[in-house]
Structure 1
Amino acid sequence: MLRQLIIEERRFPLAVPFRISRGVKLNADVVTVAMYQGDKCGRGEAVPYARYGESVASVIEQMEQLRPQLASGMGRDELLAQLPAGAARNALDAAMWDLESQLSGVPVWQRLARTPGTAVVTALTVGIDTPEQMGVAAARIAGVGLIKVKVDADDPAARIDAVRRAAPHARLIVDPNESWTIDLLRDMQGPLARARVDLLEQPLPADADDALLAFSGSVPICADEACHETRDLPRMRGRYQAINIKLDKTGGLTEAWRLLRAARSEGFKVMIGCMVCSSLGIAPALELAREAAFVDLDGPFWLQHDHPDGVQLQGGSLLPPPPGFWGG
């Protein structure tokens, strides 16, 4: 039976600006896929990311080029062979997982030999601002279990310290988004240790991380922009102690599941992250979240309006969407 494919751009305005070292985001611009076969429909969502040379237009063009093969029944393994890792493949892969589960009556969690989804502790993010305002933001969420602190190269110690004072008991992830130098990384070892930071995410530019080979710090370093898919893992050895897996980087749940297992077998800690997106982009990532040491899936909570039947936040715990939202 032939499939029908609907590809659309959707914009989700943010409730407040999202500031990181490379800029400010006011909207989440996503690409959604609805894949119909008979009376069943599989859905997927992806976030094109300019850091990886993507745009909404380029992602839609990648999908459209495969429309004939997709309509005639292309599977996930063939999709991996036809498209590189990235947002286009992620949205299509998610739609395929969802459609397969609807057609078979077997939910994704069961196909992965898992138990049904349960709540997980997710990081809540404090974006870049003045130390004073970051302290105010952290105080609002001080009771949660995990906070991610966005910083750049402008006095990161003051910003981290402000968050730690406002949230004395939360675990902390610090994320410079590639904005530090190796000298700044060395200088920050004392402040990171004093703030009891649990994880430092991608401090150096991905193309400058050879400097990490000769570096030994007080806080485990997590690869984000430097690691997209399983074939990147050999290069991570000696540089990083953890890997941030995002479906928009791996190109979907299929490759993300492989990367998760490979990273754990090689001794890396695993973090499951996301772009700023809706619950439709988060639902597939939740299938991996219970396997991770760190979960950072707060993307939907930056939106003014998410899907009403999507994920929910209870304290610092992320509750999965109800059955039928995605994945059976």
Structure 2
Amino acid sequence: MASENDIRKLNAERIELLIECSIQAYNALSETQIAQCAVDKVIAPAGFELIDSWSGVDSVFGREKTVETYGVVFRSRSAPWRYVFAFRGTDSALDMLDDCGVEPQAFVPLESDAPVPDQVRVESGFNEIYTSGNGSVASMQTQLFALIDQYQHSSQQPSEIYITGHSLGGALCQLFTLDLALSRPEISAENINFASPRVGNKAFVEFYAAQAHHPTLRVVNVHDAVPHLPPTELGFRHHSSVYLIAFHATDILGKMDLKVAHSSDNYQAVIRCARRSGVGGCNNKRLQVAERLTICSELPAQEDR
């Protein structure tokens, strides 16, 4: 599959589940103790329970080596072999407009002897958040694989793993998905990410796509600026499998309102609308998102597909 704009041809239930998990990953960030998961703010999706979280060291998007909660793990209550790893995005998506794509880096999986073509390059900021630790906290990469190995040696071994994230979380979750394919090749996983920037170059996209037991779907608002970063002029590319939606603000800013076009809550509202529409897409000029917020959702134009 390449571009798709009919949610009926996809696993709509799973897409809706994973955008909810991605939103809850944002809720896990405490306003006062950012290194600790705000358990009381996280509402597990119906049928799931919150079982773990992980942190990361962010020195890229306007912070100074800050340790922050970066994601959560949910497990199905009725099917305890089903796990969801949900990555949090940045609290200011617009930071990425200035900070993305300057210095591509080589991708080094957890198991450093796993073969990676020399030409593969990834965006440096995303890669540094994924691989960096500090004197007291292990890297996000190390923490994630510690959780995977813990579950693998438990009585509830994962046979279904779903990996997701919105915005920066969408980029980080793709790095983890590739790393999982290389460092734990016996484990299969599926990735559905939302509003993700470009993560790597053409060689990265091709190498990632070759990991057939880790299918990936991007969900993108055609008016969202973040998925257009880093620019293709710097060699960055996207995976071809994408579900396109189209929404924007209803006020005077319209399609120029970057925050509205990137909001995870708005993505969720349009996905829900599309799933329930009966026609596979959301065409509602005044879609209610919150008590005082409406957005304009349309079917993607032909030139956007």
TM, length-normalised to structure 1 = 0.33
More helix by share: 1
Q: Which of 1 and 2 has greater Rg?
A: 1
